[in-house]
Each structure stands twice: as C-alpha cells, then as structure tokens.
Amino acid sequence: MAATTLKLARLNGAAEIFHSIQGEGVSMGYPSVFIRASLCNLHCHWCDTDYTWNWTGTPWKHQNDADPDYRKFSKQEYITEITISEVAKAVNAYSCPRIILTGGEPLLQDAAWQALMEELLRSRADYHFELETNGTLLPTEGFDKLIHQYNVSPKLENSGNPAKNRLCSEALTFFSKSPKAWFKFVIASDTDLEEVVAIQAKYNIPQSRILLMPEGRDEVSLQHRRLWLADLCRDKNYRFSDRLHIQLWGSKRGV
C-alpha cells in the first residue's frame, strides 16, 4: 500500500516547509524549498535540528545540555503527520523548482517521499529533488529513480555516535558509486581529516565529490573554524563548504 502521509517537524503549529536559500554543500546559494522530516536514527551531540529526535525521556546527550534552560522535546508537540497532497500544495505555492528533502533522516520515510515526488512531478515537470542524508540507509530503487541529487553527510567521531551506528558499508558503497552523490563532512578539529581520508579510501569516494564544512551553530564558532578549515582545504585539495544560512540569519528555524 502506498504511503499517504509524512511525519514532518512542527514549526509555529504547522509542518516545517519553507522557502529559502540553500546554505550548505554543492548547491549552496540556490533558492530552494525545504521540507523537514522528523525522526532520525543518529543522535549527533552538536545537531542543530535536535527537535527532530531528542525526545523527552530518551538518554541521548547534546551539547546544549550545559544550558540550564535547555529541555528535551515533546514528541507530540514537535511532530506533525500531514498528507502527501497537503505537502504538495504547500510546496507548489512557492513556485520554486529546487526541493530539499531534509531532516532528521528523510530515508526513514522512503516510500512517503516517493509518493510526494511523484505527485509534485504531475504538477510541474522541472522539479529538482535533493536529499540530505546521513548515509546510513540505502534508498530503494524507486526512490533512486526519482531523486536528482544526494547530499550525503557521513558522521565522524565528533558527532558522538558509535562507528557501528554511523557507518553503514552497504549504504556508503552505494552512494560512493552514484553519480548523483556529493559527500559533506562536518569538521570540528584538524584531526577529523584523518577520519575523512580513511572513509574516502575505504569506500573509494572521488575527492572531487567531497566537501568539508566547519561545525558550528553560531557565527562566532563558525568564523573561528572556517579560517583554518579553508586553509586545510586549499592545502589538501578538498572543496570547502560554508554555512551560508548561519551567516545570513543566525541560528534560526525556517530560514
């Protein structure tokens, strides 16, 4: 039976669907419509969308735990289940062809995204679909036929996830062979490069398909890290990705 609904993050009482500028990766700068899925199979302690997984009563740690005002999120309050037709209607209202499926981890709802992409293409043939994924789940054949671009962000040790959870050989092998895939690694310190090189070698990822992006949820920390990371990318021949949306709007949702 085909999926008829999507579980999306809730923002201001509605599904988190918004029109903005892509702030990261190879498509940085393009006007895009973002659709944010709820739920994730990883729990990165620096995650800036922790409201998609850090539920009340769970044991997951987060850097914000040091803030006495920080609280885990109510699953009931931060997830909305919305029909495929309602999502399509909201997306179509923006008249923007580039659609970013983000999260959370969108591939936890593979079939529902397929249904959405098929419905959107019936109304407009030039839609371009991008998937933001942590690279741990293998897309189905049907999903792969519909998606135009994979923005794969394998997690390093700095994420706080154990290697057995964050590195899936089957999925990473698939993405490394896909001409649709680009790889974006979040870098917190210069020692992270050793992990990137090891993953690159193990899965034979073309260096031209790899981008390194500084970790940071605010402009101050990003400015500190982007300076040495830009130098590292220049010296090691990696492509640099900034976080443009943080520069423009700060750490805000829906932008």
- pTM for the model: 0.93
Residue 235 lies in a domain: yes
In what helix (H) or strand (E) does residue 34 lie, and over which residues does it extend? strand 31-36
> CB–CB of 115/2 below 8 Å?
yes
- The domain that holds 28 is classified in CATH as 3.20.20.70
**Using CA of residue 151, residue 245, residue 15, residue 83, what is the dihedral sign?**
negative
Number of structural domains (the chain) is: 1
Tens digit of each residue's pLDDT, the chain (255 residues): 578 999 999 998 999 999 999 989 999 999 999 999 999 999 999 998 999 999 999 999 999 999 999 999 999 999 999 999 999 999 999 999 999 999 999 999 999 999 999 999 999 999 999 999 999 999 999 999 999 999 999 999 999 999 999 999 999 999 999 999 999 998 888 889 999 999 999 999 999 999 998 876 667 677 777 888 988 999 999 999 887 766 666 666 666
Q: State which residues form the domain around 67.
A: 5-249
Q: How many residues does this entry show for the chain?
A: 255
Residue 212 lies in a domain: yes
Helices H / strands E in the chain, number of each: 9, 11
CA–CA distance from 13 to each of 17, 24, 81, 152, 176 (Å)?
Answer: 12, 26, 12, 29, 38
Residue 98 lies in a domain: yes
Write down the pLDDT at residue 242. 82
Residue 255 lies in a domain: no
Listed in sequence order, the residues at least 6 apart from 114 whose beta carbon sits closer than 8 Å to its beta carbon are: 3, 140, 142, 143, 146
Residue 254 lies in a domain: no
Write down the pLDDT at residue 23. 87
How would you label 49-79 residue by residue, b for 16+ Cβ within 10 Å and e otherwise?
bbbbbbbeeeebebebeeeeeeebbebeebb
Write down the pLDDT at residue 175. 98
